[in-house]
Amino acid sequence: MSFSHRPINPADLFKDAALAALMALILALPLIGFRSVAEGGQLALTTRFDWVGIGVAGVFLGRLVLVYASSFWPPSGANFALAEAVREGMSRYVMALAGMGLLLALLLPFLPFSSRYVIDVATGLLIYIMLGWGLNIVVGLAGLLDLGYVAFYAMGAYSYALLALQFDLSFWICLPLAGLFAGLLGIVLGFPVLRLRGDYLAIVTLGFGEIIRIILLNWYEITGGPDGLSGIPRPSFFGLPFKPTTGEHEISAFHQAFGLEFSGLHRVIFLYYLILCLALITNFFTLRLRKLPLGRAWEALREDEIASRSLGINPRNTKLTAFGIGATFGGLAGAFFATRQGFISPESFTFVESATILAIVVLGGMGSQIGVVVAAALLILLPEFGRELEEFRMLVFGAAMVLIMAWRPRGLLANREPTLRLHRRDRRGGEPR
Amino acid sequence: MLSLAHVHVYHGPIHALRGVDLSVEMGEIVTLIGANGAGKSTLLMSICGAPRAGRGRVLWDGEDITDLPSFEIIRRGIAQVPEGRRIFSRMSVLENLLVGATPLEDGQREEDLQRVFALFPTLKDRQHQRGGTLSGGEQQMLAIGRALMGRPRLLLLDEPSLGLAPRLVQRIFEIIEAINREQNVTVFLVEQNAYHALRLAHRGYVMANGRIVLAGESKALLANREVRAAYLEGGV
Ligand SMILES: Nc1ncnc2c1ncn2[C@@H]1O[C@H](COP(=O)(O)OP(=O)(O)OP(=O)(O)O)[C@@H](O)[C@H]1O
Ligand SMILES: [Mg+2]
């Protein structure tokens, strides 16, 4: 898709739209055209070619309009100028927005509209925000494209589950251990990929992610294979479990200690605050690191490895710490996931998870902490709210992602505030990176 | 204090340096001139260990640093301003400078920063601007300032005048001289701009096809007929 000024030849326009429609036809025919319905215990195939027709016509017209309209769009340079100007005005509000978001997050369980469902969704969202912030260290700051982040999430979850189940250790001991193990795995996996860059790094990390999942799937004696691990202990409130009690005389559960009626909601709220804490720790840790030599070394490596070397940065250690710290946070999130679900299996740690987390980081504008929150909210809540759309949910979701990337090619909130002035752009020639 | 003995460097199959001998003494400004592709940048880079010398030795303060990793070499007081500046463009000027302090373990950052800002007042005004938005001259100043943040005893400069207007070239060379004289930093300068470089330096080397073909006092080189013919005439 090119945004050019020149008028478009109508024949090209139609050819382009026809091609798009053909692609849509090829995709829609098997996906939408046929549908299996259960009829008295049997699967029957029905067809929906009318839907396919509507879809293809829609794509044809849509493409026509899009390409035609794009010929009026300003060239991309000016587009950037506009985006930067908007962002400059925005940056002042971003901090205020962040403050409001934090306040909302802190008060959420006590707001009038919040129900068990709302808190559950928010908890799920916070897991992804935490994962996004963790991966942001590796991808956004250190510039290492990691497609296998889910491996550390899985490592944390399984470490937690196994420690808790086999050794009967409490949540507060298992949690840091799970983070530690994931971090160590990050360093171990980091070693062989130190010399790789860009796409090669992406492919190898993708492979690692799959290897870990396949190990989990096949190491039946330890991991339970496809059956997963169940009965994972729930966290306690510093020793006080969330459970209904019979004995009235001694304090043995959370609700008694605080003189409350027992309610299943207590645990849900506790879990919510727990992940909120973990996520905020991840965030503040990253923000702090950014101001320390290590954080600057990550960014320097991302920007220019040769210059970094010539300034005395040790690329090996710097990259390994990025992998290790990013993996640690992934592992902590995994441990939380395990204790929240009470059940884990390799199915929760597929490549789709890695891709979702990476999408959050990229969509958020690599390196932007607030961008991660906004992107996670979009990516996780959009499908949640779109449940009525049924099977078109993912279609709408995909379309939304494409639109966002077309609108803001460098992410919703591209990293750091530029101090760039508009009139300088022309002199520097093109888009300064 | 720096000496290279019979250094050979290979870029894969390319034999870029074919037995280089040279030395730089404390307090000197030494320049290395030569045509494009002669191997000047390769020489500078290999002093810092990337690429490593395939044969031959690099000695620094009497220590053999040939096989040390780059960061160890930099930590021993050598700083390099690489060819083409290589500013961290999405990081602010201040952050660029702070990355330069990497080789130091103790933190005299503030003092070093003020020293660099005194040398390059424009950097102080632009410290919160992104590196990539600086002009070419400002970027060169930033690259030099960044290298100075590590408090080097030897500064390796690769074509600092590249792409700068004549007046700025003059400025940069004055600053290099000031760094050498006032801060006691030894300078090893690779240049295309042979005239300016030889005027500034105490001694010079001329390189061609991976070998040192001429060496001597700057004045002598400036007067040398071959040097004039190859690097000076028409180019001043
Ligand atoms: N990374 C590399 N891989 C392969 N060959 C290289 C590499 N770097 C340099 N060379 C080759 O080594 C030779 C010397 O290059 P070098 O960059 O040192 O020259 P130079 O004297 O700095 O030239 P210039 O004045 O143009 O900067 C050239 O033939 C070049 O093609
Ligand atoms: Mg060169």
Residue A348's SS3 state is helix
Spatial CB neighbours of A198, under 8 Å, sequence gap ≥ 6: A145
| Cis, bond preceding A432 (omega within 30 deg of 0) | no
Residue A362 has what DSSP assignment?
A: H
CA distance A429 to chain B (A): 11
Cα(B153) to centroid(ligand 1), Å: 26
Distance CA A158, CA B128 (A): 45
Of B150, B151, B107, B110, give the one whose Cα is nearest residue B127: B110
Spatial CB neighbours of A133, under 8 Å, sequence gap ≥ 6: A279, A282, A283, A286, A329, A369, A372
Task: Please report how the helices A171-190 and A315-341 are oriented relative to each other, as an axis angle in degrees rounded to 10.
Answer: 140
Distance CA B199, CA B31 (A): 10
For residue B124, the Cα-to-chain-centroid distance in whole angstroms is 23
Best of B8, B10, B14, B44 for a ligand 1 pocket test (most atoms within 8 Å of beta carbon): B14
Distance CA B154, CA B211 (A): 22
Cα(B191) to centroid(ligand 2), Å: 8
Sort strands A42-47 and A229-230 into parallel, antiparallel or unpaired.
unpaired
Q: Pick B88's closest partner by Cβ from A293, A303, A312.
A: A303
Residues of chain B contacting A309 with CB distance shorter than 8 Å: 48, 50, 70-71
Residue B191's SS3 state is strand
Residue A433 has what pLDDT? 37
CA distances from A400 to A20, A382, A397 (A): 18, 9, 5
Q: Does A310 touch chain B (CB under 8 A)?
A: yes
Distance CA A94, CA B189 (A): 46
Of A312, A424, A347, A427, give the one whose Cα is nearest residue A81: A424
Distance CA A254, CA A263 (A): 10
Q: What is the pLDDT of residues A228-273, one digit of tens each?
A: 999 888 887 776 777 766 555 566 677 766 767 777 788 889 999 9
Type of residue found at A49: F
Q: Answer whether residue B61 shows pLDDT above 80.
A: yes
Residue A273 has what pLDDT? 94
The encoded tokens of residue A70 equal: 């794009």
Interface contact B101-A293, CB threshold 8 A: yes
Cα(B233) to centroid(ligand 2), Å: 21
Q: Does A366 touch chain B (CB under 8 A)?
A: no
Q: Judge whether A406 and A1 are in contact, CB under 8 Å.
A: yes
DSSP string computed for A217-237? HH-HHHH-GGG-EE-PPPP-B
Distance CA B97, CA A102 (A): 33
The DSSP bridge partners found for residue A343 are: A230
Tokens 């949690």 belong to A175
- ipTM exceeds 0.85, yes or no: yes
The DSSP bridge partners found for residue B207 are: B34, B212
Cα(B212) to centroid(ligand 2), Å: 15
Helices (H), chain B: 40-47, 70-75, 93-100, 109-119, 121-125, 136-148, 166-182, 194-200, 218-223, 225-227
Type of residue found at B72: E
Q: Does A312 touch chain B (CB under 8 A)?
A: yes
Q: Which ligand is nearest to the CA of B10?
A: 1
Of the residues A304, A311, A413, the best mutation for testing chain B's interface (the one with the most B CB atoms within 10 Å of its CB) is A311
Residue A113 has what pLDDT? 83
- Give mean pLDDT, residues A406-428: 49
Kindly state the helix (H) or strand (E) to which residue A204 belongs, with its residue range. Answer: helix A198-218
Residue A35's SS3 state is strand
Distance CA A257, CA A169 (A): 23
- CATH architecture of residue range(s) A117-407: Orthogonal Bundle (1.10)
Ligand 1 atom showing the smallest separation from residue B35 Cα:
25
Ligand 1 atom showing the smallest separation from residue B44 Cα:
18
Residue B130 has what DSSP assignment?
A: B
Q: Answer whether residue A323 shows pLDDT above 60.
A: yes
Type of residue found at A269: I
Residue A331 has what pLDDT? 97
Residue A247 has what pLDDT? 59
Type of residue found at A142: A
All structural domains of chain A with their residue ranges: 10-73, 80-114, 117-407
Residues of chain B contacting A310 with CB distance shorter than 8 Å: 45, 48, 70, 74, 79-82, 86, 147
Ranges A132-136, A222-226, B206-210: which has the least confidence? A222-226
In this prediction the pTM is: 0.80
Q: Pick B74's closest partner by Cβ from A293, A312, A419.
A: A312
Q: Which ligand is nearest to the CA of B33?
A: 1
Smallest CA separation from ligand 1 atom 28, residue: B37
Ligand 1 is surrounded, with C-beta below 6 A, by: B 11-12, 14, 16, 34, 36-42, 83, 192
Ranges A306-320, A387-401, B43-57, B84-98: which has the least confidence? A387-401
Q: What is the pLDDT of residues A178-208, one digit of tens each?
A: 999 999 999 999 988 888 877 888 899 999 9
Q: Judge whether A301 and A319 are in contact, CB under 8 Å.
A: yes
Interface contact A312-B71, CB threshold 8 A: yes
Q: Does A176 touch chain B (CB under 8 A)?
A: no
CA distances from A80 to A360, A409, A422 (A): 21, 9, 10
Sort strands B186-191 and B29-34 into parallel, antiparallel or unpaired.
parallel
Distance CA A149, CA A212 (A): 11
Q: Which ligand is nearest to the CA of B46?
A: 1
Of A378, A374, A356, A359, give the one whose Cα is nearest residue A413: A374
Percent share of chain A, pLDDT over 90: 38
The overall average pLDDT reported for chain B is 92
The encoded tokens of residue A56 equal: 């293809």
Spatial CB neighbours of A424, under 8 Å, sequence gap ≥ 6: B133
Q: Does A429 touch chain B (CB under 8 A)?
A: no
